[in-house]
Amino acid sequence: MDEQVDVLIVGAGPTGLTLGLTLARYGVSFQIIDRKTTPSDNSRAIGIQPRTIEVFSRLDVAQEVLERARTIERGNLYFSGQWTAKLEFSKLVTPYPFVTLLRQNETEEILERALRKHGHVVKRGETLSSITQYPSRTIAHLTATDGMTRAVEAKYVVAADGANSSVRRMLALPFSGKSFKEAWVLADLKADWPISREEVHIFFSDRGVLEVFPLTDETIRITGNLRTDESFQESDLQELVEQRSHMPVHIHDVEWFSLFRVHNRMVDTFIHNRIILMGDAAHINSPVGGQGMNTGIADAFNLGWKLWLHLKTGAPHHVVSTYRDEREHVARNVLQTTNIATEMLQTTLPMLLPFQAIGADVFTRVNLVNQKITERISQLHLSYPNALRLPFRRVAEGKIFPETEILRTDDGFRTKISEIADGRFQVLVFDDGKRDLTSIYDYLNKNQPFIQTITLSKTSRPFFDQGNELAKSLFMKRGILVIRPDGYLLHKQHHVRLKPLQDKLAVWLPSS
């Protein structure tokens, strides 16, 4: 055998790179390969959702992304050229209440650089040509561009090899779903156009829809559906934009022009023995709402810490299997939403437009509806199976724990709970000073390789819940919260008994 690793990642798009970075931070041994000899220079996905920035923050790349990107707090909806309604992202409960716009190749560049800082490089120009699975390992054969081959033994192969996944084909997995009949046009271009470059604009017209995203001060991304695509060319963009926006526009410098079809498909199951599918290899959806890349990144972040627990600490295989249940649930949810959104955007028949305009106006004025729509786009609402179906970002098991600030008693600065997260489970103990917590602390200390303990009290401790703010907002006088390494709430108890805490964590931790 040429080489042995714990994980072989096939594909260095945003999904594979995020998994690589997560594994690197946990010290799991892996290799990441890509058949392309150089990084992509294609702008493809430009919308990074707030939840993804929360993930990037945990991976220490959020700051660089935000420095290079443009952030957008508002979207405008126009019907037949008339401004009708707005979508407001600034009210989202997250430290990043905006949509971040950055070309996909730049996002990939940032992830790959972070990976290099951890001492890992993408092995480029290598294509996966076959995989053989055994009960406890896999053997993958890779072919380089010069025809040289090598074999890698890995405990798991992760297929992050995109929409045309070769792993999916090797396993002969059906990719069920539907393909939309209408084609879409996409272009990155410069234009003289009297609209704000600080906001997104969506124009509904009797010719179809036009979405406009300001990528930089000069360059904008436009997308629109085409009822007939056979003859559409770059030179038709000017007319399309003018007709749908009802505004005077002068288009110049088209940097990228592409026609594409929209597909909503996913595989039936994301884990096949020792092969795990993620990102576009497992599910593809319409680009409406900018969900595809974000869902792949979230897949990777979900799997990374589970592979660490299983491979490095001896936690049961069940931990890895939860990836399947949780992420299939999310992918189904995203497919459903983007399917409905695409149908709605494509249905711009002249007689329906006035009614759609009234609907958009009325609904988006209702703050709760506006918030619900933007939460859905932001991916902050996504919960795992069996989560309580509470509206909005309420604290519930199976939902993302909302970013919360506490006070550090050593320097007096406020800190976010995610900022002090170090990849382990975070256990927040609300200590009212009236109970004996010795057995709780004995248990937490014993499991210290997997658990970061944060005590919050009204008296002096490393962290201080000033004015009992956090406890009050969670309706917790005393009790315990367990936050998973990916920021989801695993457990909440309003008392300080050890047994329920122990039972909940026993499912995830190696048996002692």
Min dist CB 31 to ligand FAD, Å, is 11
Should residue 290 be labelled a site residue for ligand FAD when binding is judged by CB under 6 A? yes
Which range touches ligand FAD (CB under 6 A), out of 11-19, 63-71, 191-199, 310-318?
A: 11-19
Distance of CA 441 to the CA centre of its chain: 34
* Residue closer to ligand FAD (CB basis): 278 or 395: 278
Should residue 160 be labelled a site residue for ligand FAD when binding is judged by CB under 6 A? yes
DSSP E strand stretches across 227-342: 250-266, 271-272, 275-277, 283-284
Q: Which residue, 406, 395, 418, is CA-closest to 486? A: 418
User: Residues with Cβ < 8 Å from 309, sequence gap 6 or more?
Assistant: 315, 319, 450, 508, 509, 510
Should residue 111 be labelled a site residue for ligand FAD when binding is judged by CB under 6 A? no
* Residue closer to ligand FAD (CB basis): 83 or 260: 260
Min dist CB 493 to ligand FAD, Å, is 36
CA angle (439, 443, 447) in 5-degree steps: 165
For residue 230, give the 3-state DSSP assignment.
coil
From residue 358 to residue 397, the character string flagging contacts with ligand FAD as x (rule: CB under 6 A) and all else as - is ----------------------------------------
* Residue closer to ligand FAD (CB basis): 237 or 406: 237
Which positions from 239 through 278 interact with ligand FAD, judged by CB under 6 A? 258, 260
For residue 204, the cross-strand partners are 79, 209
Name the residue with tokens 């294509």: 127
* Residue closer to ligand FAD (CB basis): 163 or 451: 163
| Interface residue with ligand FAD, options 158, 189, 215, 293 (CB under 6 A) | 293
Which range touches ligand FAD (CB under 6 A), out of 154-162, 236-244, 472-480, 489-497?
A: 154-162
Min dist CB 142 to ligand FAD, Å, is 8
**What whole-number distance in Å separates Cα of residue 148 and Cα of residue 55?**
37
From residue 40 to residue 79, the character string flagging contacts with ligand FAD as x (rule: CB under 6 A) and all else as - is ----xxxx--------------------------------
* Biggest alpha carbon–alpha carbon distance for the chain: 76
Token pair recorded at residue 36: 């392309």
* Residue closer to ligand FAD (CB basis): 280 or 431: 280
- The CB density around residue 343, as the number of other CB atoms within 10 Å, is 12
The pairing of beta strand 451-457 with beta strand 463-464: parallel
The pairing of beta strand 176-192 with beta strand 405-408: unpaired
Q: What residue ranges bind ligand FAD (CB under 6 A)?
A: 10-16, 33-36, 44-47, 104, 127-128, 160-163, 166, 186, 258, 260, 279-280, 287, 290-294, 296
